[in-house]
Amino acid sequence: MSKLFAFSSLVLLIVLALWAWKDYNREWRIYQKTFYALENKGSTGINDKKRENRYEIKQIDLPELKRTDRCITCHLGVEDPTMVKVKLPYKVHPNFSQHPFNEFGCTICHLGQGRATTVKAAHGEVRYWEEPMLPLKYIQASCAKCHLISNPSVAPDLVLGMKKYEEYGCADCHIIDGVGEKGGIDLSLAGKHRSPDWHFAHLKDPQALVPDSQMPNFGLTDEDARVLTVYLLCLRKEEIPSRYVCPSPKSEISEAK
Ligand code: HEC
Ligand code: HEC
Ligand code: HEC
Ligand code: HEC
């Protein structure tokens, strides 16, 4: 009897120890440890004030945008201008003052799974997560949620994509927001496909993805297919609170003229 008790106690102890070990070695903890070490080494004075280097899940709550983004749990240096010559995820964000992260978070532009705390899940490379992180080469698709497509100083890929759409006569067979050939396939929500890779491959060679497709193979360059993909992806709509819509459409239009 006492042997059995001793044995089960031992098992319990081992399970607890393993659990504690696993908790201590969580992916994000290891990133935080490395970041805090980098900070102590590389600080140039800007961050000299005593820091609280706590091990914790860090998050940005954005009820208006219906998001909670925990990306900064690992991407700790996004607003730290001293974090230049360091690897991802510690690096400072390019142009980070344009969209303060406490108001914008991350997934509004990058997509991905805001609440997740492992690299794979956060970047959305998991089953049943419908919005995997946009590869950076397509990221300008997100700018159209708040900015005018036609503003080249914001998102040149969108301006180019729209131009290519006209150049190749896509509207001869397709409709976007009611404009285009009657009876054509509506692309207003980027069609039924969500994956940027699908769009890119389909544009390069429609018949390879859709056997017997009547869509012509235009012999597009990779660059043309890329900007067209950015343009198609930007057609997906998301409701955005008006204070985020930039700044007032009128002033942008007059600027573009
Ligand atoms: C558990 C830690 C972790 C979390 C959480 C995390 N990331 Fe990352 N991220 C990384 C690491 C590590 C890299 C560099 C290696 C890689 O790309 O996997 C990276 C790279 C990136 C890159 C660069 C990709 C490229 O192509 O160069 C982007 C963009 C990015 N993350 C965005 C996000 C966003 C948005 C979130 C939140 C939805 C997020 N990350 C959450 C660890 C994390
Ligand atoms: C307003 C849109 C926007 C928001 C919000 C945003 N990003 Fe980015 N992010 C971009 C763009 C655009 C790029 C590519 C910039 C470039 O290549 O010059 C980028 C690049 C990156 C990279 C790659 C940087 C590199 O040096 O390779 C990472 C990592 C990243 N973002 C993470 C984040 C995280 C984490 C957040 C939230 C704290 C965030 N971003 C919020 C638009 C955004
Ligand atoms: C959720 C809405 C939102 C998204 C998404 C967004 N922006 Fe912005 N952006 C804003 C707002 C709001 C401002 C501030 C405008 C102001 O101060 O007048 C701004 C300012 C800017 C500015 C500086 C001011 C200007 O108009 O030149 C640039 C450049 C910019 N954004 C580029 C981008 C790019 C590139 C993307 C996509 C990667 C992007 N934005 C995505 C809302 C957004
Ligand atoms: C001659 C007519 C024709 C032209 C021109 C044409 N397409 Fe298509 N497109 C089709 C047909 C037919 C399909 C359905 C079969 C398929 O998916 O390949 C299609 C499908 C698509 C889809 C997938 C829609 C969905 O919901 O599955 C996209 C995206 C698309 N086209 C974009 C374009 C773009 C961008 C251009 C211009 C570069 C273009 N198409 C030019 C005929 C055309």
Q: What is the mean pLDDT of residues 78-106?
A: 95
pTM of the model: 0.91
Condensed to tens digits (0 to 9), the pLDDT of residues 197-206 reads 999 999 999 9
Note the pLDDT of residue 248. 52
Cα(5) to ligand 3 centroid in Å equals 64
Closest alpha carbon to 149 in 165, 172, 137 = 165
Across 15-24, 183-192, 248-257, least confident range: 248-257
Condensed to tens digits (0 to 9), the pLDDT of residues 146-161 reads 999 988 899 999 999 9
Could you identify the residue written with the tokens 């492992």? 118
Q: Which CATH code fits 136-256?
A: 2.60.40.420
Q: Whose Cα sits closest to atom 6 in ligand 1? A: 71
Note the pLDDT of residue 247. 67
Closest alpha carbon to 31 in 102, 111, 119, 93 = 119
Which ligand has an atom closest to residue 105 CA? 2
DSSP string for residues in 157-222: HHHHHHHHHHHTTGGGTEEETTEESTTPEE-TTSTT---HHHHHHHHH-HHHHSTT--S------H
Q: Whose Cα sits closest to atom 41 in ligand 3? A: 143
The confidence band for 184, taking pLDDT boundaries of 50, 70 and 90, is confident
Dist CA 49 CA 34 (whole Å): 19
Residues 6 or more apart in contact with residue 45 via CB below 8 angstroms: none
Cα Rg, the chain, nearest whole Å: 24
Residues 6 or more apart in contact with residue 64 via CB below 8 angstroms: 241, 243, 244
44: pLDDT strictly greater than 80: no
At CA 145, angle to CA 71 and CA 209, rounded to 5? 85
Across 22-26, 67-71, 162-166, 233-237, least confident range: 22-26
Ligand 2, CB cutoff 6 Å, lining residues? 71-72, 75, 78, 88, 91, 93-94, 99, 101, 104-106, 108-110, 136, 139
Q: Is cis: bond before 206, omega within 30 of 0?
A: no
Ligand 4, CB cutoff 6 Å, lining residues? 165, 168-170, 172-174, 185, 187, 191-193, 199, 203, 206, 210, 213-216, 218, 228, 232
Distances (CA, A) of 59 to 17, 54, 80, 124, 236: 28, 13, 17, 17, 26
Cα(94) to ligand 2 centroid in Å equals 7
**Domain residue extents for the chain:** 27-122, 136-256
